[in-house]
Amino acid sequence: MCSDHYPPIAVGRAGADNGPYPGWMSLSGLMTQDPAHTMPETRLFPYDLVMFDLDGTLMETASELSDALNDTLAGLGCAPVAETRVGGWIGNGTGELLIRGLAESTGQAPQALRGSELAQRAVALFDPYYERRCGTRSRLYPHAAQVLQQLRARGVRLAVVTNKDGRFTRRLLDSHRLTSLLDLVVAGDTVARKKPAPDGIAHCLAQLQVAATRALFVGDSAIDVASARNAGVAVWAVPGGYNQGLPIASARPDRVIQGLADLLAG
Protein backbone atom coordinates (compact mmCIF):
# COMPACT_ATOMS: atom_id res chain seq x y z
CA MET A 1 0.00 0.00 0.00
CA CYS A 2 2.84 2.38 0.85
CA SER A 3 5.56 3.66 -1.45
CA ASP A 4 9.08 2.43 -0.85
CA HIS A 5 10.39 5.97 -1.40
CA TYR A 6 10.70 8.13 1.68
CA PRO A 7 11.69 11.78 1.64
CA PRO A 8 14.37 12.66 4.20
CA ILE A 9 13.03 12.79 7.74
CA ALA A 10 14.91 13.01 11.03
CA VAL A 11 13.28 12.00 14.29
CA GLY A 12 16.07 12.04 16.82
CA ARG A 13 16.60 15.64 17.88
CA ALA A 14 13.82 16.93 20.05
CA GLY A 15 14.00 20.03 22.20
CA ALA A 16 11.92 22.47 24.18
CA ASP A 17 10.78 25.82 22.83
CA ASN A 18 13.39 28.29 23.97
CA GLY A 19 11.00 31.20 23.98
CA PRO A 20 11.04 34.54 22.16
CA TYR A 21 14.10 35.75 20.31
CA PRO A 22 14.81 38.76 18.06
CA GLY A 23 12.13 38.95 15.38
CA TRP A 24 9.82 36.52 17.19
CA MET A 25 6.15 36.89 16.34
CA SER A 26 3.71 36.31 19.19
CA LEU A 27 0.37 34.49 18.86
CA SER A 28 -2.26 36.92 20.14
CA GLY A 29 -4.65 36.26 17.82
CA LEU A 30 -13.66 28.64 9.69
CA MET A 31 -15.84 28.10 6.79
CA THR A 32 -15.67 24.48 5.66
CA GLN A 33 -13.92 23.74 2.39
CA ASP A 34 -16.35 23.02 -0.41
CA PRO A 35 -15.86 19.44 -1.68
CA ALA A 36 -17.34 20.59 -5.01
CA HIS A 37 -14.70 23.29 -5.38
CA THR A 38 -13.36 22.87 -8.91
CA MET A 39 -9.74 22.88 -10.04
CA PRO A 40 -8.84 26.34 -11.37
CA GLU A 41 -7.23 27.13 -14.70
CA THR A 42 -3.50 26.37 -14.73
CA ARG A 43 -1.19 29.41 -14.55
CA LEU A 44 2.50 30.03 -14.07
CA PHE A 45 3.32 29.28 -10.43
CA PRO A 46 5.35 32.01 -8.67
CA TYR A 47 7.23 29.84 -6.12
CA ASP A 48 9.98 27.23 -6.33
CA LEU A 49 9.02 25.53 -3.05
CA VAL A 50 5.70 25.01 -1.29
CA MET A 51 5.71 23.80 2.31
CA PHE A 52 2.50 22.46 3.82
CA ASP A 53 1.31 21.96 7.35
CA LEU A 54 -0.24 18.51 7.78
CA ASP A 55 -3.20 18.32 10.20
CA GLY A 56 -5.97 20.66 9.10
CA THR A 57 -4.19 21.64 5.87
CA LEU A 58 -3.60 18.51 3.80
CA MET A 59 -5.83 16.21 5.81
CA GLU A 60 -8.53 16.04 8.45
CA THR A 61 -7.24 14.08 11.45
CA ALA A 62 -9.61 15.01 14.28
CA SER A 63 -11.55 11.73 14.09
CA GLU A 64 -8.62 9.44 14.82
CA LEU A 65 -7.15 11.87 17.37
CA SER A 66 -10.51 11.73 19.10
CA ASP A 67 -10.36 7.93 19.07
CA ALA A 68 -6.89 7.92 20.63
CA LEU A 69 -7.93 10.52 23.20
CA ASN A 70 -10.95 8.47 24.24
CA ASP A 71 -8.81 5.32 24.39
CA THR A 72 -6.55 7.21 26.78
CA LEU A 73 -9.44 8.48 28.90
CA ALA A 74 -10.86 4.96 29.12
CA GLY A 75 -7.46 3.70 30.26
CA LEU A 76 -7.60 6.25 33.07
CA GLY A 77 -11.15 5.33 34.02
CA CYS A 78 -12.50 8.67 32.74
CA ALA A 79 -15.60 9.34 30.67
CA PRO A 80 -15.22 9.79 26.89
CA VAL A 81 -15.55 13.17 25.19
CA ALA A 82 -17.55 14.06 22.09
CA GLU A 83 -15.63 13.90 18.81
CA THR A 84 -17.16 17.23 17.78
CA ARG A 85 -15.27 18.92 20.64
CA VAL A 86 -11.83 17.61 19.72
CA GLY A 87 -11.25 19.67 16.58
CA GLY A 88 -11.20 22.85 18.67
CA TRP A 89 -8.42 21.44 20.86
CA ILE A 90 -5.99 20.55 18.07
CA GLY A 91 -3.07 22.80 17.23
CA ASN A 92 -1.09 23.30 20.43
CA GLY A 93 0.41 19.84 20.73
CA THR A 94 -0.54 16.53 22.29
CA GLY A 95 -0.04 17.78 25.85
CA GLU A 96 -2.65 20.50 25.48
CA LEU A 97 -5.03 18.15 23.67
CA LEU A 98 -4.84 15.77 26.65
CA ILE A 99 -5.34 18.57 29.17
CA ARG A 100 -8.44 19.81 27.34
CA GLY A 101 -9.80 16.27 27.07
CA LEU A 102 -9.19 15.57 30.75
CA ALA A 103 -10.84 18.85 31.71
CA GLU A 104 -13.91 18.07 29.62
CA SER A 105 -14.11 14.53 30.98
CA THR A 106 -13.53 15.23 34.68
CA GLY A 107 -14.94 18.73 35.06
CA GLN A 108 -11.64 19.99 36.49
CA ALA A 109 -10.10 23.27 35.37
CA PRO A 110 -7.29 22.92 32.80
CA GLN A 111 -4.96 24.94 35.06
CA ALA A 112 -5.44 22.41 37.86
CA LEU A 113 -4.59 19.52 35.54
CA ARG A 114 -1.36 20.89 34.07
CA GLY A 115 1.56 19.10 35.72
CA SER A 116 -0.76 16.78 37.63
CA GLU A 117 -0.17 13.07 38.13
CA LEU A 118 -3.30 12.35 36.06
CA ALA A 119 -1.96 14.38 33.14
CA GLN A 120 1.40 12.58 33.32
CA ARG A 121 -0.36 9.22 33.19
CA ALA A 122 -2.38 10.41 30.19
CA VAL A 123 0.79 11.39 28.31
CA ALA A 124 2.29 7.94 28.95
CA LEU A 125 -0.83 6.20 27.64
CA PHE A 126 -1.60 8.35 24.60
CA ASP A 127 1.27 7.57 22.20
CA PRO A 128 0.68 3.80 21.89
CA TYR A 129 -3.04 4.39 21.39
CA TYR A 130 -2.43 7.03 18.72
CA GLU A 131 0.13 4.87 16.95
CA ARG A 132 -2.55 2.22 16.60
CA ARG A 133 -5.21 4.71 15.43
CA CYS A 134 -2.98 6.85 13.17
CA GLY A 135 -4.11 6.64 9.54
CA THR A 136 -7.34 4.77 10.28
CA ARG A 137 -9.97 7.52 10.07
CA SER A 138 -8.10 10.53 8.70
CA ARG A 139 -8.94 11.76 5.20
CA LEU A 140 -7.36 14.03 2.63
CA TYR A 141 -9.00 17.35 1.95
CA PRO A 142 -10.49 17.78 -1.54
CA HIS A 143 -7.90 17.83 -4.35
CA ALA A 144 -4.92 17.50 -1.96
CA ALA A 145 -3.20 14.70 -3.88
CA GLN A 146 -4.02 16.17 -7.29
CA VAL A 147 -2.63 19.57 -6.32
CA LEU A 148 0.63 18.01 -5.11
CA GLN A 149 0.89 16.00 -8.33
CA GLN A 150 0.31 19.03 -10.54
CA LEU A 151 2.72 21.26 -8.65
CA ARG A 152 5.37 18.54 -8.78
CA ALA A 153 4.79 18.16 -12.54
CA ARG A 154 5.59 21.86 -12.91
CA GLY A 155 8.91 21.40 -11.15
CA VAL A 156 7.85 22.90 -7.80
CA ARG A 157 9.60 21.38 -4.77
CA LEU A 158 7.19 20.13 -2.10
CA ALA A 159 7.58 19.60 1.64
CA VAL A 160 5.59 19.03 4.81
CA VAL A 161 6.52 20.95 7.96
CA THR A 162 4.51 19.73 10.96
CA ASN A 163 4.67 19.71 14.74
CA LYS A 164 3.59 16.05 14.74
CA ASP A 165 6.26 13.48 15.69
CA GLY A 166 8.01 11.79 12.79
CA ARG A 167 6.68 8.28 13.35
CA PHE A 168 3.08 9.50 13.21
CA THR A 169 3.77 11.85 10.32
CA ARG A 170 5.23 9.07 8.20
CA ARG A 171 2.34 6.74 8.97
CA LEU A 172 -0.20 9.36 7.88
CA LEU A 173 1.67 10.22 4.69
CA ASP A 174 2.05 6.55 3.82
CA SER A 175 -1.58 5.78 4.57
CA HIS A 176 -2.73 8.46 2.15
CA ARG A 177 -0.03 7.77 -0.48
CA LEU A 178 1.58 11.21 -0.30
CA THR A 179 5.13 10.17 0.61
CA SER A 180 6.40 9.83 -2.96
CA LEU A 181 5.12 13.31 -3.85
CA LEU A 182 7.30 15.08 -1.28
CA ASP A 183 10.92 16.18 -1.46
CA LEU A 184 11.28 16.62 2.30
CA VAL A 185 9.37 16.04 5.54
CA VAL A 186 10.23 18.09 8.63
CA ALA A 187 8.49 16.68 11.70
CA GLY A 188 8.15 18.03 15.21
CA ASP A 189 11.19 16.08 16.38
CA THR A 190 13.37 16.96 13.38
CA VAL A 191 14.42 20.35 14.77
CA ALA A 192 14.96 21.81 18.25
CA ARG A 193 11.90 24.08 18.29
CA LYS A 194 8.46 23.46 16.87
CA LYS A 195 6.25 26.01 15.14
CA PRO A 196 5.73 28.93 15.70
CA ALA A 197 9.53 29.01 15.84
CA PRO A 198 10.98 29.24 12.30
CA ASP A 199 13.30 26.23 12.74
CA GLY A 200 11.32 23.74 10.65
CA ILE A 201 10.85 26.11 7.74
CA ALA A 202 14.47 27.31 7.93
CA HIS A 203 15.64 23.67 7.92
CA CYS A 204 13.54 23.01 4.85
CA LEU A 205 14.92 26.05 2.99
CA ALA A 206 18.48 25.03 3.81
CA GLN A 207 18.06 21.37 2.85
CA LEU A 208 16.38 22.16 -0.47
CA GLN A 209 18.55 25.24 -1.14
CA VAL A 210 15.65 27.57 -1.85
CA ALA A 211 15.66 31.27 -0.97
CA ALA A 212 12.96 32.45 1.43
CA THR A 213 11.67 34.85 -1.24
CA ARG A 214 10.96 31.88 -3.54
CA ALA A 215 9.11 29.80 -0.94
CA LEU A 216 5.50 29.63 0.21
CA PHE A 217 4.04 28.10 3.37
CA VAL A 218 0.44 26.84 3.37
CA GLY A 219 -1.25 26.26 6.72
CA ASP A 220 -4.49 26.48 8.63
CA SER A 221 -3.65 28.15 11.94
CA ALA A 222 -2.19 31.22 13.60
CA ILE A 223 0.76 29.04 14.60
CA ASP A 224 1.47 28.34 10.92
CA VAL A 225 1.20 32.02 10.01
CA ALA A 226 3.54 33.04 12.84
CA SER A 227 6.09 30.38 11.90
CA ALA A 228 6.15 31.56 8.29
CA ARG A 229 6.47 35.20 9.38
CA ASN A 230 9.34 34.29 11.70
CA ALA A 231 11.09 32.49 8.83
CA GLY A 232 10.51 35.30 6.36
CA VAL A 233 8.43 33.36 3.82
CA ALA A 234 5.06 34.10 2.25
CA VAL A 235 2.10 32.37 3.86
CA TRP A 236 -1.31 31.41 2.51
CA ALA A 237 -3.98 29.84 4.69
CA VAL A 238 -6.98 27.58 4.24
CA PRO A 239 -10.12 27.91 6.38
CA GLY A 240 -11.83 24.98 8.03
CA GLY A 241 -8.76 23.55 9.73
CA TYR A 242 -7.60 23.68 13.34
CA ASN A 243 -7.29 27.29 14.51
CA GLN A 244 -8.80 26.99 17.99
CA GLY A 245 -12.20 28.00 16.62
CA LEU A 246 -11.01 31.39 15.34
CA PRO A 247 -11.36 32.60 11.73
CA ILE A 248 -8.04 32.09 9.98
CA ALA A 249 -8.25 35.61 8.53
CA SER A 250 -7.68 36.92 12.06
CA ALA A 251 -4.11 35.55 11.87
CA ARG A 252 -3.47 37.83 8.87
CA PRO A 253 -1.89 35.49 6.35
CA ASP A 254 -0.85 36.99 3.02
CA ARG A 255 -3.81 35.30 1.43
CA VAL A 256 -6.75 33.11 2.44
CA ILE A 257 -7.60 30.51 -0.18
CA GLN A 258 -10.86 28.61 -0.07
CA GLY A 259 -9.28 25.25 -0.87
CA LEU A 260 -6.01 23.68 -1.92
CA ALA A 261 -7.05 23.74 -5.58
CA ASP A 262 -6.70 27.52 -5.48
CA LEU A 263 -2.92 27.07 -5.29
CA LEU A 264 -2.96 26.19 -8.97
CA ALA A 265 -4.39 29.59 -9.82
CA GLY A 266 -1.09 31.15 -8.64
Give 231: exposed, middle or buried? Use CB within 10 Å, 0-12, 13-18, 19+.
Answer: buried
Out of 34, 48, 53, 224, pick the active-site residue.
53
Handedness of CA 246, 89, 184, 177 (dihedral sign): negative
Q: How far apart are CA 49 and CA 202, in angstroms?
A: 12
Q: Is residue 262 annotated as a catalytic residue, yes or no?
A: no
> Hey, which residues are catalytic here?
53
